[in-house]
């Protein structure tokens, strides 16, 4: 008998009750999407800034590794070495070294260049403020100086003092 009374209800009442059984209305979905869009608009610039800082730090670590590789190569080969860091470039060179992966000379170390990548803004080593760092046959750094890397308005300095290579903070 219960089934029969349900069938006797007006069609409009049946349709209305079926419509509200579950799910979200269009307006509710629209509000949620607007809130997600607002959060994304706030978060994306911060994420891009974090990526830029990470790229700069990684490039500075590559420079430091190249300097340490150059000192080790000079020590093991007994030959003077140099590291060339041309201003405006997205790479540094070790002319006296062979790239272990490609067997190419000079060994070229990419700094993560490309369109939005890292570039060498300044490179000053020694009294003459040259774009290359000299290493004697014993693996000792002959020059002191610094190199500044930039990306998207941010910069980081790599400083060579004595036998130490120091990476600064991203500014």
pLDDT band of 86, cuts 50, 70, 90: very high
- The predicted pLDDT at position 96 comes to 84
Task: Report CA dihedral (86, 156, 144, 142) to the nearest 10 degrees.
Answer: -60
Ranking 45-49, 82-86, 153-157 by mean pLDDT, the lowest is: 45-49
pLDDT band of 2, cuts 50, 70, 90: low
pLDDT band of 45, cuts 50, 70, 90: confident
Would you call 142 helix, strand, or coil by DSSP? coil
- The predicted pLDDT at position 33 comes to 93
- The predicted pLDDT at position 114 comes to 62
Judged on CB neighbours under 10 Å (0-12, 13-18, 19+), 133 is buried
Q: Is the pLDDT of residue 158 over 90?
A: yes
- The predicted pLDDT at position 24 comes to 86
Mean pLDDT highest for which of 1-5, 6-10, 27-31, 111-115?
27-31
pTM score, two decimals?
Answer: 0.70
Name which residue leads in pLDDT, 75 or 49: 75
Dist CA 155 CA 168 (whole Å)? 9
Domains identified in the chain and CATH numbers: 51-167 (3.55.40.10)
């Amino acid at each position: 008998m219960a089934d029969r009374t349900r069938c006797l209800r007006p069609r409009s009442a049946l349709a209305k009750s079926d419509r509200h059984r579950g799910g979200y209305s269009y307006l509710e979905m629209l509000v949620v999407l607007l809130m997600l869009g607002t959060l994304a608009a706030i978060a994306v610039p911060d994420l891009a800034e974090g990526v830029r800082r990470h790229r700069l730090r990684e490039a500075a670590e590559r420079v430091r590794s190249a300097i340490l590789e150059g000192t080790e190569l000079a020590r093991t080969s007994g030959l003077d070495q140099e590291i060339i860091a041309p201003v405006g470039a997205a790479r540094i060179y070790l002319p006296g070294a062979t790239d272990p992966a490609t067997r190419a000379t000079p060994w070229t170390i990419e700094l993560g260049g490309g369109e939005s990548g890292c570039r060498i803004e300044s490179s000053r080593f020694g009294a003459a403020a040259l774009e290359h760092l000299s290493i004697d046959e014993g693996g000792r750094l002959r020059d002191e100086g610094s190199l500044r890397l930039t990306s998207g308005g941010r910069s980081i300095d790599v400083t060579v003092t004595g036998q130490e290579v120091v990476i600064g903070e991203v500014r």
